Amino acid sequence: MQLKIHRFLFLLLLILSIQEIKSEEVPKISLRLFTPRAILSTAINVTWFTHGNQEEILGFKCKFWKRNQNEEEAVNVISLNKFQNWILLDGLEIDTYYWVKCRAFNSFGQGDETSRFLEKTFKKAPQKQPTELKVTKVDSSTIKVTFHYDSPSYTKFEEPLEGFKSRIWEKDQNIETAVDKIIPFGEKLEFIFDNLISGKTYQLAVLALSNGGDGVSSPPITFEIDQITSNEEFQLNNSEQIS
Ligand SMILES: *[C@@H]1O[C@H](CO)[C@@H](O)[C@H](O)[C@H]1NC(C)=O
Ligand SMILES: *[C@@H]1O[C@H](CO)[C@@H](O)[C@H](O)[C@H]1NC(C)=O
Q: Residue 64: CB partners within 8 Å, gap ≥ 6? A: 44, 74, 75, 77, 89, 92, 98, 99, 100, 101
pLDDT tens-place values along the chain, 243 residues long: 566 767 766 666 666 555 544 556 777 877 888 778 888 899 999 999 888 888 888 999 999 999 999 999 999 999 999 899 999 999 999 999 999 999 999 988 898 899 999 999 999 999 999 999 999 998 889 999 999 998 666 677 899 999 999 999 999 999 999 999 999 999 999 999 999 999 999 999 999 999 999 999 999 999 999 888 655 555 554 444 433
Residues of the chain with CATH 2.60.40.10: 28-120, 131-235
Which residue(s) pair with 209 in the sheet? 163, 214
Distance 178 CA to ligand 2 centre (A): 28
CA distance 52 to 16: 26
Neighbours of 111 (CB within 10 A): 24
CA–centroid distance, 66 to ligand 1, in Å, is 22
Q: Answer whether 0.75 is exceeded by the pTM.
A: no
Question: For ligand 1, what atom is nearest to the CA of residue 43?
Answer: 13
Q: Which of 207, 159, 213, 161 is nearest to 181 (CA)?
A: 207
Ligand 1 neighbour 88 (Cβ under 6 A)? yes
**What is the H or E stretch that residue 17 is in?**
helix 2-23
CATH for the 131-235 domain, from 2.60.40.10, 3.40.50.300, 3.40.50.150, 2.10.260.10: 2.60.40.10
Cα(159) to ligand 1 centroid in Å equals 21
How far apart CA 116 and CA 76 sit, in angstroms, is 14
Distance CA 23, CA 73 (A): 33
**CATH class of the domain at 28-120:** mainly beta
- Alpha carbon nearest to ligand 2 atom 11, residue: 237
